Amino acid sequence: MKKRKAAFFAVLLLVILFAVPVMADSMSDILPGAGAARNVFTERDLTQLLELAKQQSPEVPEAGSPEEQGTDAAEEGGQPEQEQQETVKEETVQAEEENTQQEETREEEPVTQAQPVTVTGGSRIVCIDAGHQLHQNSGQEPNGPGSSVMKMKVTSGTRGVSSGVPEYQLTLDVALKLQSVLQARGYTVVMCRTTNDVNISNAERATIANNAGAGAFIRIHADGANSASAAGASTLAPSGTNPYCPQIASASQSLARCVVNGLCAKTGAKNRGVTITDTMTGLNWSQVPVTIVEMGFMTNPTEDMAMQDPSYQQKLAEGMADGIDAYFGN
Ligand SMILES: [Zn+2]
């Protein structure tokens, strides 16, 4: 069908190229200025027709920026994603929202797309943790059950470079919206916090999700980087060789994949994919499928201001909920 259309436009072009100049020449004998009209026609309308013919032809590939191509490739989980993650590693300084001093473990992304997991009764419970809190807690806690590595209980998080809004406020704003969206879709929602002035460590937040028997634990954060141009959303999940919670690695990676894809599809944000890490206290203490969502960069002026827009926050919440739906196989 497309080939026939392309052929039709080719013939149409030929007719126009030959017939119109002849007609215009004849017209110019009768009407003054018809010759000039011919020139206008050939310069403007032929260009449009050529464009139209190009759009109809399947042989002409769509031009895309390297950035777009990288994102598309990342969706397939191939080699470009690995390269993309290397970039994340260089740019991201606040993805380590728990401010670990350790080098983050990053593994190659599984090549398969996330599949909905089979879940049983009570699984439609989602625990939401709005990352950080009004005051950081510099007390220490083990990085995982039985770990001798100690980390800060709650760090201060990042802050909007243009808005000046602290991360803990943004994460709460979006967490409350996500709560409403999920409840409207029939989920039972457990919130780690609904106000800023709390004191709940990362391990304690994971314990809340564990005790709730959550089918998914969504930890909401925002990113920061040295470069103001770093942009896009990513999610984090533990590896299959995590020493504390290897049993939830596969489901968590699936959840992470679904959520970042849902978020980016809804908001149009750049998809930075899933980062595998075993250094996050709030992941390591979790016994239920968990992901950290880095919604965007507060160090990017454009993304920072977008994330302060209530309608964009709503899209973030709906996109995450779409991902949660996909994870549960709805
Ligand atoms: Zn954070």
Q: Quick one: 44 and 88 in the same domain?
A: no
Say how many Å lie between the CA of residue 128 and the centre of ligand 1: 14
Say how many Å lie between the CA of residue 306 and the centre of ligand 1: 17
Mean pLDDT of the 21-43 span: 40
> Across the beta sheet with 290-297, what order do the strands follow?
188-191, 125-130, 216-223, 290-297, 233-237, 271-276
Predicted pLDDT of residue 123? 66
Q: Quick one: 269 and 321 in the same domain?
A: yes
In a domain, 72, yes or no: no
In a domain, 175, yes or no: yes
Predicted pLDDT of residue 330? 72
Say how many Å lie between the CA of residue 58 and the centre of ligand 1: 45
Say how many Å lie between the CA of residue 166 and the centre of ligand 1: 10
Predicted pLDDT of residue 15? 45
Q: What crossing angle do the helices spanning 79-91 and 66-75 adopt, rounded to 10°?
A: 110
Predicted pLDDT of residue 4? 57
Q: Phi and psi of 296, rounded to 5°?
A: 170, 180
In a domain, 234, yes or no: yes
Predicted pLDDT of residue 10? 52
Say how many Å lie between the CA of residue 170 and the centre of ligand 1: 10
34, pLDDT greater than 50: no
Which of the pair, 3 or 185, is modelled with greater confidence?
185
d(CA 122, CA 250): 19
Say how many Å lie between the CA of residue 131 and the centre of ligand 1: 6
Say how many Å lie between the CA of residue 290 and the centre of ligand 1: 15
Say how many Å lie between the CA of residue 167 and the centre of ligand 1: 7
Predicted pLDDT of residue 107? 38
d(CA 212, CA 125): 8
Q: What is the largest CA-CA distance in the chain?
A: 96
Mean pLDDT of the 41-58 span: 44
Question: At 50, is the pLDDT very low, low, confident or very high (cuts 50, 70, 90)?
Answer: very low
What would the pLDDT profile of 173-188 be if each residue is shown by its tens digit?
Answer: 999 999 999 999 999 9
In a domain, 222, yes or no: yes
Predicted pLDDT of residue 27? 41
The number of domains in the chain is 2
What would the pLDDT profile of 272-308 be if each residue is shown by its tens digit?
Answer: 999 999 999 999 999 999 999 999 999 999 999 999 9
Say how many Å lie between the CA of residue 90 and the centre of ligand 1: 17
Mean pLDDT of the 64-83 span: 31
d(CA 215, CA 258): 14
Q: What is the dihedral of CA 206, 211, 216, 221, to 10 degrees?
A: -30
Q: Quick one: 105 and 142 in the same domain?
A: yes
Say how many Å lie between the CA of residue 217 and the centre of ligand 1: 15
Say how many Å lie between the CA of residue 36 and the centre of ligand 1: 65
Q: Quick one: 230 and 300 in the same domain?
A: yes
What would the pLDDT profile of 98-154 be if each residue is shown by its tens digit?
Answer: 443 333 333 333 333 444 444 443 469 999 999 999 999 999 999 999 999 999 999
Say how many Å lie between the CA of residue 192 and the centre of ligand 1: 15
Q: Taking the chain, what is the end-to-end CA distance rounded to the nearest angstrom?
A: 36
Say how many Å lie between the CA of residue 15 and the centre of ligand 1: 63
3-state secondary structure 220-245: EEEECECCCCCCCEEEEECCCCCCCC
Say how many Å lie between the CA of residue 325 and the centre of ligand 1: 24
In a domain, 93, yes or no: yes
Q: Quick one: 150 and 190 in the same domain?
A: yes
Predicted pLDDT of residue 81? 34
In a domain, 97, yes or no: yes
262, pLDDT greater than 50: yes
Assign residue 184 the CATH number of its domain. 3.40.630.40
Residue range of the domain that includes 158: 78-328
Q: Quick one: 118 and 248 in the same domain?
A: yes
Predicted pLDDT of residue 9? 58
What would the pLDDT profile of 55-65 be if each residue is shown by its tens digit?
Answer: 444 333 333 33
Predicted pLDDT of residue 146? 94
Mean pLDDT of the 16-45 span: 41
At 4, the amino acid letter reads R
d(CA 170, CA 298): 10
Q: Quick one: 36 and 94 in the same domain?
A: no
Say how many Å lie between the CA of residue 119 and the centre of ligand 1: 29
Say how many Å lie between the CA of residue 266 and the centre of ligand 1: 22
Q: Quick one: 257 and 289 in the same domain?
A: yes
Say how many Å lie between the CA of residue 200 and the centre of ligand 1: 14
Mean pLDDT for all residues in the chain: 76
Q: Quick one: 42 and 151 in the same domain?
A: no
Q: What size, in residues, is the chain?
A: 330
In a domain, 68, yes or no: no
In a domain, 65, yes or no: no
d(CA 107, CA 92): 16
Q: Quick one: 22 and 122 in the same domain?
A: no
Say how many Å lie between the CA of residue 3 and the centre of ligand 1: 52
Say how many Å lie between the CA of residue 227 and the centre of ligand 1: 17
d(CA 282, CA 217): 10
Say how many Å lie between the CA of residue 33 and the centre of ligand 1: 68
Question: At 196, is the pLDDT very low, low, confident or very high (cuts 50, 70, 90)?
Answer: very high
- 294, 235 contact by CB (below 8 A): yes
Which tokens belong to 192? 């780690």
- 282, 207 contact by CB (below 8 A): no
Q: Quick one: 46 and 125 in the same domain?
A: no
d(CA 244, CA 210): 14
Distances (CA, A) of 290 to 110, 249, 250, 252, 312: 17, 9, 10, 5, 24
Say how many Å lie between the CA of residue 35 and the centre of ligand 1: 68
Q: Quick one: 226 and 321 in the same domain?
A: yes
Helix (H) or strand (E) holding 38: helix 34-40
